[in-house]
């Protein structure tokens, strides 16, 4: 929460907004104002810190330039999030990436059932369009914040209880495959794109429609290259920064996107 501070005194040779900048910089960097906290409006900044409208705008612009805050049209200004560095490799795991940076995470199953594979899903799985496949919609959280929305389509020849096992494994696809006798489950390819979220994605991830998201479409296979699962993940760009190793170092150049 933001504290209610009295106006800062300023100095004769320095505008008041610069003292305000030093105040907010210190509060944010020392963790007294948490990531994701909404800052006061321009009018509130003017009143609280005895600023002019120009000074309040200068303050916000300076904080944005330093990466301390982010602004979204119609939503206000927020303290910038601390994204995790999500490493894409042949053994990409959500839980490993989250806990590896000392953060907390969990996965909720929002939907499950049989869906007809269409378009890229059918093509990547190597099946006819319209073939029913097990499907699950998962929402991953980072420090209790919705961070990534994942659509998971499984090969139709997997055991029919794959979705039951997935739910029992708390949404962990790698643990599900291990339970099904497929411990060599690995990432084969990953396509990374950026776009604006759909209305449903924006609502689910709690982001404004104007905030870009990162979309990854991945093919996962077993040790022999058998196609097992397609995942399409929509991630908040302010919470997750993807790291792709260089070619020849376990990255996309060696077929392990």
CATH number assigned to the domain with residue range 84-254, chosen from the 4 options 3.40.1410.10, 3.40.50.300, 3.40.50.720, 3.40.50.150 = 3.40.1410.10
User: Whole-angstrom Cα distance, residue 72 to residue 236?
Assistant: 14
Per the CB < 8 A criterion, the answer to whether 146 and 205 are in contact is yes
In the chain, CATH 1.10.10.10 sits at 16-79
pTM for this one? 0.78
Higher model confidence: residue 75 or residue 32?
Answer: 32
How much is the pLDDT for 249?
A: 47
Grade residue 257 by pLDDT with cuts at 50, 70 and 90.
very low
User: Whole-angstrom Cα distance, residue 44 to residue 218?
Assistant: 46
pLDDT of residue 188 exceeding 80, the answer is yes
Grade residue 9 by pLDDT with cuts at 50, 70 and 90.
low
In the chain, CATH 3.40.1410.10 sits at 84-254
Query: Mean pLDDT over residues 102-120, rounded?
Result: 94
Higher model confidence: residue 79 or residue 90?
Answer: 79
Provide the CATH number for the domain formed by 16-79 in this structure.
Answer: 1.10.10.10
Higher model confidence: residue 80 or residue 7?
Answer: 80
Per the CB < 8 A criterion, the answer to whether 206 and 145 are in contact is yes
Higher model confidence: residue 236 or residue 81?
Answer: 236
User: Whole-angstrom Cα distance, residue 165 to residue 65?
Assistant: 47
């Amino acid at each position: 929460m933001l504290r209610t501070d009295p106006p800062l005194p300023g100095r004769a040779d320095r505008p008041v907004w610069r003292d305000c900048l030093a105040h907010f910089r210190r509060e944010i960097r020392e963790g007294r104002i948490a990531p994701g906290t909404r800052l006061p409006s321009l009018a509130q900044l003017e009143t609280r810190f005895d600023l002019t409208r120009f000074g309040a705008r200068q303050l916000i612009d300076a904080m944005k330039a330093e990466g301390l805050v982010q602004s979204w049209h119609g939503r206000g200004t927020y303290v910038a999030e601390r994204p995790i560095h999500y490493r894409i490799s042949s053994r990409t795991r959500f839980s490993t990436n989250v806990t590896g940076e000392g953060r907390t995470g969990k996965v909720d199953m929002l939907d499950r059932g049989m869906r007809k594979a269409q378009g890229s899903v059918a093509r990547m799985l190597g099946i006819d369009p319209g073939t029913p496949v097990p499907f699950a919609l998962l929402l991953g959280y980072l420090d209790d914040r919705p961070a990534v929305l994942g659509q998971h389509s499984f090969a139709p020849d997997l055991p029919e209880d794959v979705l039951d096992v997935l739910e029992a494994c708390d949404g962990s696809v790698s643990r599900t495959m291990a339970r099904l006798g497929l411990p060599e489950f690995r990432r084969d390819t990953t396509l990374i794109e950026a776009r604006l979220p759909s209305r449903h994605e924006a609502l689910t991830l709690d982001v404004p429609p104007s905030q870009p998201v990162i979309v990854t479409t991945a093919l996962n296979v077993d040790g022999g290259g058998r196609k097992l699962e397609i995942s399409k993940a929509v991630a908040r760009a302010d919470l997750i920064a993807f790291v792709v190793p260089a070619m020849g170092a376990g990255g996309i150049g060696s077929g392990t996107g």
